[in-house]
Amino acid sequence: MNQETGETNSAMEKAGTYFVNGFHCAEAVAAAVLETLGEEPGEATAHATAFGGGFGGTYMEACGALSGSLIAIGHLHGRRTPGGQWKLPAELGADIRSRFLSAFGTTNCAALRDIFGEENQSTECLRVVKETTRSLMEILIAGP
């Protein structure tokens, strides 16, 4: 197993562990990816909190795993001053959205929950968290 595969697998396992131990989807993805990449995840994880459950637990908007990915991208590559370049984080964000849409057919939390069915929510959401983490790690490791 090469280092990239090892890091990706580690991030996926961390995300899964975080998810089953109380972080929701956005928090789990952001924390696992940033921690695996050697970043302090605390602030970004806190920023992810309101994005869980399709924005504030409403289940009406984007899946939290996707939102957590965007937060991690912003933490790593986002602007720190007005007027700076934002092409790279925009491209990374578009890439993770595209991969998410290809993998799951929608980015909408409520639609995903309908597809999964009530009885499969936790199992399927765990799968989404881990797969989204895998995709994001692949994007980030590939680099700009």
User: DSSP characters for 34-100?
Assistant: HHHTT---HHHHHHHGGGTTTTTT--SSB-HHHHHHHHHHHHHH--SSTT---HHHHHHHHHHHHHH
What pLDDT score does 144 carry? 61
Domain count, the chain: 1
- Reported pTM: 0.95
pLDDT one-digit tens code per residue, 39-67 = 999 999 999 999 999 999 999 999 999 99
> Which candidate, 43, 15, 26, places its Cα nearest to that of 107?
26
Which residue range(s) make up the domain with 88?
A: 3-142
